[in-house]
Amino acid sequence: MKYTTNTIRKMFLMFFKENNHKIIPSSSLIPKKKSNLLFTNAGMNQFQDVFLGKKKYPFSQVVTIQKCLRTGGKHNDLDEVGYSEYHNTFFEMLGNFSFGTYFKKEAILYAWNLLTDKSWFNIPKKKLFVTVYYKDKETYNIWNKIIKLSKKNIIKIYNKKNKKYESDNFWQMGDTGPCGPCTEIFFKKKNNNNQEYNLEDKSQCIEIWNIVFIQFNRINKNEIIPLKITCVDTGMGLERIASVLQNVNSNYQIDTFKKIITYISKINNLNISNHQSLNVIADHIRAAIFIINENIIPSNEHRGYILRRIIRRALCHGNKIGIKNIFFYKLTKIIISLFNNNEKDLENKKKYIINILKEEELQFHETLNKGIKFLNQEIKKLKKPEINSKIVFYLYDTLGFPIDLTKDICREQKIYINQEKLNNIILQHKKNTKNKIKKFIQNTIHTDIKTIFCGYKKNKITATIKKIFINGK
């Protein structure tokens, strides 16, 4: 195979190195303390302060392959995995950046040349089209006059209705601060005979590269002013460009994912090789391993909760395709072997990762089996495709079966859950719990005083109450 994932990584770095970019390693999946992101979700995260003008970077043109995770906030692709062929939770983002040196013309030329040049990715020019921000005439003209892309292959993207600056082609870091127009490059999966492509329909076309021109500073909702120093921030999904270059119809059919999926089938004696659940498991094991590698462990809050959700969702899909025994932790080996060229510390942490995964899997195994069995029985009884929210709550509250897994299973079988009713049940349950706690506190006040009197630490009882509050029971 000419363009293996590894070759693509190398070629990308080499191309930009030859064009005077400094290769910078990926930053951690955990953003710096002051960031409000749970996980790094784009190549630009590590350069945030540079774009904000708070920090001067020692290099003005850099290239990276950034580990990203999109499981929350503005970018939440977790529930897409299994349904979308082109979304992963964990993926690698190839990106080149200019901090005040080159701008629109050069950035577009770099991207275009890398994608279409015969000695690089060699994608036929007619297979590509682009989008531009409707006000960004400069970018439009570069595509049209310099790259010589016909007008029908340059799509203007407008702001969303009633929103001043909210377009897929206008990027902003936050409510204020650096912002600017983007241009995105799409790959045509089929010929649409001159009709406009539906950008959301990934059977027609897929977005491969986003190029952002940071040229404004947003002062407030209505005011933006030009920046003195303009920057370029780009991102292209490694798995997506691999699917294009390897001529397959899914991120999950590229060389690396094929190996993972074959391995899952082999060790579990399955005779399937193409299944939505295999995609989910293959995606989630990568994500889980990279999260654990950052010393996050499964828990009920914050990053640990995302990790737990990912692992449990994968186990649920394992159960769905008939895997009876614990299996997930066994996939660590293949993932580490696939990444051992560029993620050296994974190998050293292999045992640690396996232990965490195994423990979580063992702990959830019984709950999973009971929950799925119960849910399936209830689904069979249904006369119309709607499940009673009380059952969803019972599964969660009594059997410990996570609500998002119930939702996942119901979504797959096109069974409706009334979210409003479910919210009410949860709210009522919380109220009841609070009342119980209140009563408990009232009843224990005497004990509290007594304990102090006897010389015990007052904190002991406070700690117990706190714990009860946290657990919600």
For position 70 contacting ligand ATP by CB under 6 A, the verdict is yes
Q: In whole angstroms, what is the distance from residue 326 CA to residue 366 CA? A: 11
Tokens 């410990």 belong to residue: 400
CB of 289 to ligand ATP, least distance (A): 16
Of the pair 181, 371, the CB lying nearest ligand ATP is at 181
CB atoms near residue 228 (< 10 Å): 8
For position 88 contacting ligand ATP by CB under 6 A, the verdict is yes
* Member of 26, 64, 210, 243 binding ligand ATP (CB under 6 A): 210
Binding mask 217-236 for ligand ATP (x = CB under 6 A): ------------------xx
CB of 68 to ligand ATP, least distance (A): 8
Binding mask 424-463 for ligand ATP (x = CB under 6 A): ----------------------------------------
* Member of 3, 15, 51, 91 binding ligand ATP (CB under 6 A): 91
3-state secondary structure (DSSP) of residue 188: strand
CB of 200 to ligand ATP, least distance (A): 8
Two tokens, residue 110: 């770099």
For position 284 contacting ligand ATP by CB under 6 A, the verdict is no
275 binds, among Mg ion, ligand ATP, none (CB under 5 to 8 A by kind): none
CA dihedral (93, 98, 102, 107) in degrees, to 10, reads 10
Of the pair 93, 224, the CB lying nearest ligand ATP is at 93
Amino acid at 453: F
Of the pair 68, 395, the CB lying nearest ligand ATP is at 68
* Member of 180, 237, 318, 371 binding ligand ATP (CB under 6 A): 237
CB of 404 to Mg ion, least distance (A): 19
**DSSP codes, 269-316:** T---SS-HHHHHHHHHHHHHHHHHTTT----SSHHHHHHHHHHHHHHH
* Member of 209, 213, 257, 328 binding ligand ATP (CB under 6 A): 209
Stretch that binds ligand ATP, among 207-215, 224-232, 295-303, 445-453 (CB under 6 A): 207-215
CB of 324 to ligand ATP, least distance (A): 31
Where b means 16+ CB within 10 Å and e means fewer, 440-464 reads eeeeeeeebeebeeeeeeeeebeee
180 binds, among Mg ion, ligand ATP, none (CB under 5 to 8 A by kind): none
Stretch that binds ligand ATP, among 83-91, 103-111, 346-354, 428-436 (CB under 6 A): 83-91
3-state secondary structure (DSSP) of residue 379: helix
Spatial CA neighbour of 307 closest among 99, 35, 106, 90: 90
Provide φ and ψ at 416, rounded to 5°.
Answer: -85, 140
For position 169 contacting ligand ATP by CB under 6 A, the verdict is no
Residue 176 contacts residue 219 (beta carbons within 8 Å) = yes
Stretch that binds ligand ATP, among 149-157, 188-196, 206-214, 313-321 (CB under 6 A): 206-214
For position 317 contacting ligand ATP by CB under 6 A, the verdict is no
Tokens 């929210």 belong to residue: 389
Of the pair 88, 210, the CB lying nearest Mg ion is at 210
Residue with the closest Cβ to ligand ATP? 237
Of the pair 251, 319, the CB lying nearest ligand ATP is at 251
For position 98 contacting Mg ion by CB under 5 A, the verdict is no
Ranges of H-type helices in 63-214: 104-116, 137-141
Q: In whole angstroms, what is the distance from residue 210 CA to residue 325 CA? A: 42
Q: What angle do CA 325, 295, 470 make, to 5 degrees?
A: 85
408 binds, among ligand ATP, Mg ion, none (CB under 5 to 8 A by kind): none
For position 239 contacting ligand ATP by CB under 6 A, the verdict is yes
3-state secondary structure (DSSP) of residue 85: coil
Of the pair 70, 313, the CB lying nearest ligand ATP is at 70
CB atoms near residue 318 (< 10 Å): 25
CB of 396 to ligand ATP, least distance (A): 28
CB of 75 to ligand ATP, least distance (A): 6
**DSSP codes, 140-180:** HHIIIIIS---GGGEEEEPPPTT-TT--TTEEESSSSEEEE
**DSSP codes, 223-282:** EEEEEEEEEEEEEEEHHHHHHHHTT-SSGGGSHHHHHHHHHHHHHTT---SS-HHHHHHH
CB atoms near residue 100 (< 10 Å): 18
CB of 171 to ligand ATP, least distance (A): 8
* Member of 210, 215, 230, 406 binding Mg ion (CB under 5 A): 210
Stretch that binds ligand ATP, among 143-151, 205-213, 432-440, 462-470 (CB under 6 A): 205-213
What residues make contact with Mg ion under the rule CB under 5 A?
207, 210
- Which residues are at the interface with ligand ATP (CB under 6 A)? 70, 75, 77, 87-88, 91, 93, 207-210, 235-237, 239-240
